[in-house]
Amino acid sequence: MKKRVFALAIVLVMALGIVLTGCGGGTSSSGGTSTPGGDASTSTGGDASTGGDASTGDAGGSNVVTKDHIIANVGAVVTKLDPQYGVSTWEWTINTNIYDTLWRNIKGDYNNLQNWMVEDYTVSDDGLTWDVKLREGILFHDGTPLTAEDVKFTADRAKVSPYTAPATEWLESTEVVDDLNFIFHLAYAFPMVREVFADYQWGICNKAAIETYGEGAKEAIVGTGPYKLGEWGADNNITLDYFEDFWSEDVPQIKSVTYRAITDPSAAGIAMRSGELDILFFAYLVPDALGFVEDPENYDVLQFERDHAQGITFNNQVAPFDDINVRRAINHAIDKEAVNLIVDEGINNTEHAIVKTSFRMEGYEKALNEGRLTQYEYDVEKAKSLLAEAGYDESNPLTVNYITPSTNTCLPLAAAAQAQLAMVNVNLDVESMEPSAWVQQVGAADFVTSYNDTGSWANRSPLTYYFMYHTGLMYNRENTNIDRVNEITELGMQTVDPAEREELYAELLEIVTDQAICCPLWQRKTFVTTTKGLQVYPEQMMLPIYMFDTEWAS
């Protein structure tokens, strides 16, 4: 088995040189995320000094230089900071520190959801009415008090924003009782109210600031979070400063953080190595990441499997992928381990590459243990046989267009897929483009087959399944229209009992794997590298770090 994978890997290495020459578009952008955004041009910018008040101490047996000002990279130029209208990982990374939420997952732990700006709440027996009381004394960064009017304003914005509206369909209205009390009126009993309002996309905005200065104005970037907007320089770097009037009695160790725009992953790795960064998000270039792992005296590296899958998606409504035999054939034609070896030196988890959603979500383990998931083993002859049934063979090869972001993580995957599919008489015509253009095209279902990556809210299964599989929603990139799947996703949004949801979602996964709606390749392994002793707690899907929790080892 290992010999076969190694031999195939050699073939793919040779193919990379061929396909990358033909792709064009360069590799100067951030690594793939579920919603790439921002300017894809390379920009390193910024001051090389990490600055801050520093002291040296011993932590964990190593000398650790602590400081209260740190620098982190962001992989794209951020052009706006608005929680309800954020579209990229990098916007969310900054927003989560400016705009606080009603509830919060402490230190990124999905299982530790606590009241945050909420003091108390009660839920009616039918689950349709949530009476909520805010903590008294919470201030916005402009010194004005947080009121229930700001919560209503934010909830109403979330209901109309294209980025948050589908996840807020359950919310019928928000009623203001007085300055500190409000009521959520639900259209149906929804099981994830707190989880939604603990998310960075539902950070509470300042109604007066937005109405005064206008949507998108820098002056309107006024939250209640532990950090306020400090400097937004011409170099596209953004500095946040600790908000001295933050309501919590706890005081963070980090008093300010600069987010430095470095859109080239190689340049970000070099900046980390030269001491210009304290946090390196998304060490996508595996040799760089492993280099930090092998230097434990100077760096701490957090390694984990993200709730984030990568693979190939098919437009199920257009030929040839409206034919289930073609979809199944492609799944059999891809050797996931070999592609993993070529693209990422084999670090990603292919074991759970059965569905595009996270293996941590409701229904997955049940369906897996009960043998209800269709798994497609690498089998060239089986792939050829299925393609022959669809009318394609050596004398009549299948040619399909494949779109991909022009990043240095996506292009090697395209090359590997191209080489493997050639073995079963499928010609993959690779078309690369800037990530923002790719997002628009794939979101409009204007493609035949495409690179795909999907982040999953593992702690909000009803929302994730609804977003990913219901007809007409933006993350149903397969463009499927399966009646029972639509029915399940709608039922799940209204099912409070977790055991009932487990069965519903096990059935859903049974259907979509049988239908081979896409070709998942792996769950992404991620590296977050920090200066020695700096402890961070990233959220498991898109990795924003709440700097209030960040601390130095002691």
Q: What is the pLDDT of residues 396-426, one digit of tens each?
A: 999 999 999 998 789 999 999 999 999 999 9
Region 80-84 average pLDDT: 95
So what's the pLDDT on residue 439?
86
Q: Which of 207, 240, 261 is the last residue of a domain?
A: 207
pLDDT tens-digit map of 324-345: 999 999 999 999 999 999 998 8
pLDDT tens-digit map of 15-63: 444 343 333 333 333 333 333 223 322 333 333 334 445 554 444 445 7
pLDDT tens-digit map of 498-517: 999 999 999 999 999 999 99
Number of domains making up the chain: 2
pLDDT tens-digit map of 182-238: 999 999 999 999 999 999 999 999 999 999 999 989 999 999 999 999 999 989 999
**Is residue 235 helix, strand or coil?**
coil
Highest mean pLDDT among 15-29, 74-88, 146-160, 273-287 belongs to 146-160
Give, in order, the Cα–Cα distances in Å from 116 to each of 67, 135, 175, 545.
27, 8, 20, 17
In the 8-state DSSP scheme, what is residue 165? G
Of 336, 344, 284, 342, give the one whose Cα is nearest residue 31: 284
Contacts of residue 383, defined as CB under 8 A and 6 or more positions apart, other chains included, come to 329, 330, 332, 333, 424
Q: Are residues 196 and 317 in the same domain?
A: no
Q: Is the pLDDT of residue 127 over 50?
A: yes
Q: Are residues 188 and 324 in the same domain?
A: no
User: Which CATH number characterizes residue 337's domain?
Assistant: 3.10.105.10
Mean pLDDT value across the chain: 88
Q: Are residues 327 and 468 in the same domain?
A: yes
pLDDT band at 284 (very low <50, low <70, confident <90, very high): low
Q: Is the pLDDT of residue 551 over 80?
A: yes
- Across 122-136, 276-290, 313-327, 484-498, least confident range: 276-290
Q: Where are the beta strands (DSSP E) in 61-128?
A: 62-67, 69-74, 103-105, 113-115, 118-123
**Cross-strand partners of 520:** 311
In a domain, 318, yes or no: yes
d(CA 6, CA 337): 10
d(CA 247, CA 134): 12
Q: Do 327 and 312 meet the contact criterion of CB atoms below 8 Å apart?
A: no
- Across 78-92, 217-231, 249-263, 377-391, least confident range: 78-92
d(CA 177, CA 110): 30
Q: Which backbone phi and psi does 515 adopt, to 5 degrees?
A: -80, -10
Q: Do 105 and 548 meet the contact criterion of CB atoms below 8 Å apart?
A: no
Q: Is the pLDDT of residue 265 over 60?
A: yes
Q: Which backbone phi and psi does 87 adopt, to 5 degrees?
A: -125, -5
Q: Which of 174, 207, 240 is the last residue of a domain?
A: 207
pLDDT tens-digit map of 524-546: 888 899 999 999 998 877 778 99
**Cross-strand partners of 313:** 450, 518
So what's the pLDDT on residue 7?
43
pLDDT tens-digit map of 358-397: 999 999 999 999 999 999 999 999 999 999 999 999 999 9
In a domain, 123, yes or no: yes
So what's the pLDDT on residue 409?
80
Q: Which of 182, 207, 232 is the last residue of a domain?
A: 207
Q: Is the pLDDT of residue 128 over 90?
A: yes
Higher per-residue confidence, 283 vs 115: 115
Q: Is the pLDDT of residue 14 over 60?
A: no
**Pairing assessment for the beta strands 449-455 and 398-405 based on DSSP bridges:** parallel
In a domain, 376, yes or no: yes
Higher per-residue confidence, 130 vs 439: 130
Q: Which two tokens stand for residue 501?
A: 């949801």
The CB density around residue 481, as the number of other CB atoms within 10 Å, is: 13
In a domain, 46, yes or no: no
**Residue range(s) defining the domain that contains residue 418:** 305-526
In a domain, 465, yes or no: yes
Q: Do 361 and 512 meet the contact criterion of CB atoms below 8 Å apart?
A: no
- Entry field: residues in the chain: 554
Q: Is the pLDDT of residue 64 over 90?
A: no
User: Which CATH number characterizes residue 201's domain?
Assistant: 3.90.76.10
Which residue matches tokens 């990358």? Answer: 20
Q: Do 262 and 38 meet the contact criterion of CB atoms below 8 Å apart?
A: no
In a domain, 244, yes or no: no
Contacts of residue 297, defined as CB under 8 A and 6 or more positions apart, other chains included, come to 62, 532
For 301, the enclosing helix (H) or strand (E) is strand 299-314
User: pTM score, two decimals?
Assistant: 0.82
Q: Is the pLDDT of residue 518 over 90?
A: yes
Q: Are residues 395 and 512 in the same domain?
A: yes
So what's the pLDDT on residue 405?
94
